[in-house]
Structure 1
């Protein structure tokens, strides 16, 4: 069976490609359904694009690689596609766009668009062999217990990275790249929670607050979530893409809060109140109890000098932590690194 283009991977990239590449197209995936990672994204509502998507916001050691693609097909083009399919959506923090209903609407939209242009979709189909020919590529696949020989002029690799293996993610892309002599950059789990080996925060599991997380290279102001294994939340996931093993991170628990002024003012009007009681008005109570084991904060407000209040604010705004690692590909939203784009047009 011959096709103009065969696309390996029926995720977001593979289905978008199938909609636009033209000719006789076949999309192959080993999963039972297309777009499985789309389905689970955004808590089941699919954060399908961002109002501020642009080259400057893409993390890459080859920052110019994405420019032409993002210029030719922008977030506004995708929003227009969503609107044409009557999918209601809303904007959350920092320009993130989510479906009002279900992420399955985005999957259906992409499948319908593929069907509209005549794309064939083979699911539960595995690749057994792949080789280059004089006029394209030859593939040996297995589908419904049968071996099938395929040929094509163009082969698209859209199998994704290693993230969330329980959804079927594998390192197939990297094996194929190696087969064809493409160089690789180091792959790591990214957009992933950070872990602490001693169960440091298990008693704080579920506590969340706005925070600023940083290392020596960057910082992020978003929500921080304590878990039984460590730290999560948007600020942590963002920083994880820039974190390396053995590095300390800094946590500012009061990034936009003039805590010194607030405590000093309260000291004048309610000096008999316990310092921890006043802090619990600005930080989660469980977190205040935990921090009280590590930071001096005993006594009433009236007992606190300006110097003591300054030391407290310094400690809360510059908490230094050393993660033991990450939760790895099991929960990572993306894979950092992969096929070296320096070798690609």
Structure 2
């Protein structure tokens, strides 16, 4: 264990270098690997194709370069399939997986690409090469189902409860009215089916994202184009800043999802079952500090200081860095850790780290 301000989360760091090591291990008789195109900085954007069935599934991850949990879960899925050679899936589905859509952002561990553009807000203009590559893959492949893989921050709770949102889903809207048509209904049924299984493992830790419509978001665009789309958001479980729990849940969800499609088990579920999944709220910060003193005018009248961990690269390694943050979850009700400062003074980052120096993450 290490002091909080020094905790490495390098297991969360996943770049083309790591991906290429995986690709070399895959059975070439099952998996076909190719380069779809190049990023802004001319890094390879890889595509993995497998399966020969008529039902086509498009998956992509690391559209945001610092969201690696779902990438690793799908890699785990590939490695498992590489071992088991599950003919049930390989004969029923044809998969196209884009593991790292934003390799520049992955290397820098940033949400945006090298041009500082959020690719998940570029589905209309298609101003960035990475967004163009994804759209071209979508247009060429014409999937029956699209899986949009992301991570979510530690600030989310399941509804207004104190349960962390360890995995969340969304069946995106296709218009401002958030109309529920046949396309969305199918996605909702699949999510409801996965939720039922996940509740057996992590009861009350599965959430649902708000379905406010934004055509610039890729999931909304693909649903608008009449393709059932599911957003995965891998989140936080107690003390699990490496996101190992969420990774396993995504892996389990994918296994259940594909079996559910083959068996049509999803037909047991309804839109109502989907809507019963509580909607996420921003109710958490990482640490709440109480019983402190301060001469900082921004802190003097505060009864508590909310601290959120920022993921930063220091000395070429990935770390969690605590920062006082009143904005990420302004109405926070809960904290992953509460700390009594015992009247220590906190006016700046240096003093914050001093107060936190004995706080450890397992």
Of structures 1 and 2, the one with the larger relative CO (CA 8 A, separation 6+) is 2
Q: Same fold (TM over 0.5)?
A: no
Q: TM-score, normalised by structure 2?
A: 0.29
> Radius of gyration: which is bigger?
1
Q: TM-score, normalised by structure 1?
A: 0.30
